[in-house]
Chains A and B, each alone.
Chain A
Amino acid sequence: MSKKITVKLFASLMKFLPVNSTKSHGFDYKIDETTTVGYLIDDLKLPRNVIHIVLLNGVYLDAETRDETPLNEGDTLGFWPPVAGG
């Protein structure tokens, strides 16, 4: 059974958004039962050397463990390069 999640790409990662994605810098994405964050990063061809902050439903995923993190129906996954401001 497939699941639907929302993927959001921010700052310089916006250039990896599919054409026509308008949903708050993001898009809906269908995944299958076993998809992990690591699998999704590669599937979307996101540049691993640029990704710095990954938030799953707003919670930070550690670089060491995020690849194995499973995804569930309705999840929101956000990606950022290194950013700061103030």
Chain B
Amino acid sequence: MSWTKKVLRINLTEGTCTPEPLNMEWAELYLGQRGLATKYLTEEVPPTTDPLSPENTMYMITGPLTGTMASTAGRYSVVTKSPLTGAVACSNSGGFFGNEMKCAGWDMVILEGKSPTPVYISINDDKAEILPADEIWGKSVWEADEWLHAKHQDPQLRIAAIGVSGEKGVLYSAIINDLHRAAGRSGVGTVMGSKNVKAIALRGSKGVTVNDPKAFFEATTAAKKVLAENAVTGEGLPALGTQVLMNVINEMGAQPTHNYKESVFAGASKISGEAMLEARDSDGKPNLTRNAGCFACTISCGRISTIDPQHFSVQNKEDLHPSYHGNSGGLEYEAAWALGSDTGVDDLDALTYAQFVCNEQGLDPISLGSTIAAAMELFEEGVITTEDTGGIELNFGNAEAMIKCTELVAKGEGFGLELGQGSARFCEKHGRPELSMTVRGQEFPAYDPRSIQGMGLGYATSNRGACHLRGYTVASEVLGIPIKTDPLETEGKAGLQIAFQNATAAFDSAGICIFTSFAWSLEDVAPQLDAACEGEWTVERLSEIGERVWNLERLYNDAAGLGGSADKLPPRMVSEAVTSGPAEGKVNGLDKMLPEYYAERGWSPEGDVTAETKARLGL
């Protein structure tokens, strides 16, 4: 407890579903979710494996707190070898799928091999079946969801599925659960598609048990109070969601604009969280309908929104799924910057539409927007023309073009298939690799690392490629959480990144949402785990687990050829200075931070994990 200690291993080549015990020795060292599945990956999938071959394996895994009454305890992760990066992939999602898996009695579902024909997996407590999915292959996530609910005659079924993009091999396809929650990054949906698996439909009735119910009740109640009394988790996130960041990041001059050429976007306030609350002209309603929460979440940062019925993206389009004319999930900040400021589009409804498409067809909006932005720069430079784009005038700021590209990638059609390879491959193909804003082949998130120095180090060293959810020093450098540091300063950022990276790896292995960390530290998490699980779970032990997980991921990447040599930023970030705003004249000082980072991690000057560090962490 609070692991179920059971794993469901599904071999798609053989067509078998076999229960096996969870490796508890590994659970002691890696806790669950991100850490534990990475341990399985490193033991079972050689680092040189082709990510889209049957030899790659996909792990859908919960954490020990998943399915309990701890706040935000609905999380699960998908761990595999990424087809976008070739590195370790770990994408975390909320909604209600993770807790359902746990309630069905499974800590983890493993998909290995490849089915000869399209299938979906049906899991109802102990009963697991591989069933034909021919009728939903070629359909969207939302259509598949409806079909599965109708077929099983069960409104409570929890479903994770891929869209057409994942079937067609778009390299940044996501797995979407509960209609609009995404295991979004690094192409985990593409791996699922390569195995011919359309969906996993779950139903669990067993409940989750904890080791010491009384202590657990006390610990979770105290921790929920911390969230409720914190201005960010108790007030800011429920009211404005992640989109509250748009204006602050723009005002401080870190808003990626026009494929990171600029760091201030004139249209930012029009696509911000604040703008989502304003009544529009056509029907007097705001974009935002309400907030929404994942399982057991007491924060509820999710957005449920509508598109202006008179907007060109939905007007006179009878064939669209009805959700486009009603309420659906979005707009989140990461989608808004990538599809918005990075492409120069300041049309809130166009962005909301594009986010809905990403949910319907299972796409990572960060990689999508960033790739479209890179293509726009190539178009404006004359490197590609309308002959390449299939007639699309791909200028910055063209909302119609952004939407057209989104639709083409979503369906894996024409020019969309080329964009679907991601910005690194796209720019490489057109002879301008330096215009791809990626690390390890994964597109940057929403923060210009020239204006927020620590994030440059974070992107360069992130084990799953450029990412904000591996070490979110924005919290400290911009938002003053837990303490304010100077975003333009490189000194001290190595230690700051390491602290964030290790703590995040521990949170990500526990079954809770990383947004709790705006209010919680490991001091708040440890008592909850200690009451839920057997054994002693202290802050020190969790910190060590975080560090161990980080190093394990790094060792895997090293062996895949993506270690120290890949700790690089695109030339624009280290040699082209910011042109306006508070960070004007700045480049990222990665060269100053990286040696210090390696030393503080206990790695060699080349960035290799040393024998001493391995021994210290039991690796």
Q: Do A and B bind each other?
A: yes
Are A25 and B472 also in contact (CB < 8 A) when A82-B236, A84-B237, A85-B242 are? no
Task: Report the Cα distance A62→B272, complex, angstroms.
Answer: 25
Residues A35-85 near B (CB distance < 8 A): 50, 52-53, 55, 57-60, 62, 76, 78, 80-85
Interface centre among A10, A25, A55, A57 (most CB of B within 10 A): A10
Interface centre among A8, A10, A81, A84 (most CB of B within 10 A): A84
Are A60 and B484 also in contact (CB < 8 A) when A81-B235, A82-B231, A85-B245 are? yes
Q: Which residues of A contact B474 (CB under 8 A)?
A: 86
Main secondary structure of the interface of B (DSSP, over half): helix
Q: Which residues of A contact B475 (CB under 8 A)?
A: 84
Q: Are B252 and A11 in contact (CB under 8 A)?
A: no
Residues B292-313 near A (CB distance < 8 A): 301
Task: Report the Cα distance A83→B581, complex, angstroms.
Answer: 21
Residues B480-510 near A (CB distance < 8 A): 480-481, 484, 486-487
Q: Are A86 and B333 in contact (CB under 8 A)?
A: yes
Q: Are B274 and A25 in contact (CB under 8 A)?
A: yes
Q: Which residues of B contact A80 (CB under 8 A)?
A: 248
Contact of B239 among A12, A55, A59, A76 (CB under 8 A): A12
| Minimum Cβ distance to chain A for residue B470 (Å) | 11
Residues B457-482 near A (CB distance < 8 A): 468-469, 472, 474-475, 478-481
Q: Are B581 and A52 in contact (CB under 8 A)?
A: no
Q: Which residues of B contact A76 (CB under 8 A)?
A: 251
Q: Are A11 and B232 in contact (CB under 8 A)?
A: no
Are A83 and B248 also in contact (CB < 8 A) when A10-B274, A11-B240, A24-B269 are? yes
Residues B218-254 near A (CB distance < 8 A): 230-232, 235-237, 239-245, 247-248, 251-253
Q: Are A8 and B241 in contact (CB under 8 A)?
A: no
Q: Are A11 and B273 in contact (CB under 8 A)?
A: yes
Q: Which residues of B contact A84 (CB under 8 A)?
A: 232, 236-237, 244-245, 475, 479, 481, 515, 518
Q: Are A25 and B247 in contact (CB under 8 A)?
A: yes
Q: Interface residue tally of chain B, by bracket?
A: 35 or more
Interface centre among B301, B479, B481, B581 (most CB of A within 10 A): B479
Q: Which residues of B contact A24 (CB under 8 A)?
A: 269
Residues B318-358 near A (CB distance < 8 A): 333-334
Q: Which residues of A contact B486 (CB under 8 A)?
A: 60
Q: Interface residue tally of chain A, by bracket?
A: 20 to 34
Q: Which residues of A contact B174 (CB under 8 A)?
A: none
Q: Are A86 and B269 in contact (CB under 8 A)?
A: no
Contact of B582 among A11, A14, A57 (CB under 8 A): A57
B514 within 8 A of A: yes
A residues adjacent to B (C-beta < 8 A): 8, 10-12, 14, 24-25, 50, 52-53, 55, 57-60, 62, 76, 78, 80-86
B residues adjacent to A (C-beta < 8 A): 230-232, 235-237, 239-245, 247-248, 251-253, 269, 272-274, 301, 333-334, 468-469, 472, 474-475, 478-481, 484, 486-487, 514-515, 518, 581-582
The 7 A-B pairs of least Cβ separation, nearest first, read A85-B242, A58-B582, A82-B231, A24-B269, A85-B245, A84-B518, A83-B236
18 contacts between A and B (CB under 8 A): A8-B247, A10-B248, A11-B274, A14-B274, A57-B582, A60-B478, A60-B486, A78-B251, A82-B231, A83-B232, A83-B240, A83-B244, A83-B245, A84-B479, A85-B237, A86-B334, A86-B469, A86-B474
